[in-house]
Structure formats: structure tokens, C-alpha cells
Amino acid sequence: MSEKKKFTIEYEIKSSPRILFTFLNEPNGLAQWFADDVNVRDQVFTFTWDDEPQKAKLILVKENKLVRFKWLEDEPQCYFEMEILQDELTNDVALSITDFATEDQIPERKLIWDNQIDYLISVLGA
């Protein structure tokens, strides 16, 4: 089994960090763009795609800034993180995604994120 590598992608998003954050850490916010269905209990989020539930623990939260989830079934070092970046001069907002995948899966994973974020942008009307 080849080792998973960390990769990061950044997207420009025309939204306030506060509004964007609700789409990153609230189940109904996440359900609008990230998964078909999202439930949470005791910091464990159940994300469902095509009736396939996957559980992730919310392991880090910084208000209006960052969320980090750890897939329960994944390797210990793997997580996925969504960080809101704001340029101090221009106030431009970007969303930085950090995820893990094997070398050969990275292009596909990036494509999935591209599609998800496009969807998020349309939900935000940004």
C-alpha cells in the first residue's frame, strides 16, 4: 500500500469568513455542498454520499478560520482541513484545503475538491 501524501489547494471565494465558516463546521451548511447528508454527535460527523456513510471526528476548530477532520477509518496521520485565509491588505478571502491521498490519487482528489468548491461557491452565490 503506497503512503498517502499531504497536498494543499487554494480557492478564491468571495464571501465573508464568518458566513463561509458556517458552511465548514455546521452540519446543514456542509450538507449544502460537501455531502448528501451530514449528521453530528459528540464531535463525530457522519458524511453520507450515495447512501455510504463515512465518519470523521472534528479534531480542531478555530472560529471563522479553520476546521480539521480526521476520518475514523483512515491512517493516523491523515486528516482533511479547510482553512479560511484573508489577505490583510485586500481583504480577499480564500479557502485552503489540505487533504491526503496516494500519489496516483491526488489528481482525482483535486478534481473532486474542485467540483465541491464550485458547488460551495454557487451555494454562497459568490
Sheet containing strand 4-12, strands side by side? 4-12, 93-102, 80-86, 66-71, 52-62, 44-49, 37-41
Q: Please name each of the domains of the chain with its CATH number.
A: 4-124 (3.30.530.20)
Is pTM beyond 0.85 here?
yes
CA 121 to CA 125: how far, in whole Å?
Answer: 6
What's the pLDDT tens digit per position in 90-115? 999 999 999 999 999 999 999 999 99
How, if at all, do strands 4-12 and 93-102 pair? antiparallel
What does the mean pLDDT of the chain come to?
95
Cβ atoms within 10 Å, residue 9 = 15
Q: How confident is the model at residue 1 (pLDDT cuts 50, 70, 90)?
A: low
| Grid coordinates of 52 | 455510504
Going by C-alpha positions, the residue among 6, 46, 52, 54 that lies closest to residue 27 is 46
Name the residue with higher pLDDT: 81 or 74: 81
Report the distance separating Cα 72 and Cα 36, nearest Å.
19
- pLDDT(126) > 80: no
2-36 tens-digit pLDDT: 799 999 999 999 999 999 999 999 999 999 999 99
pLDDT band of 75, cuts 50, 70, 90? confident
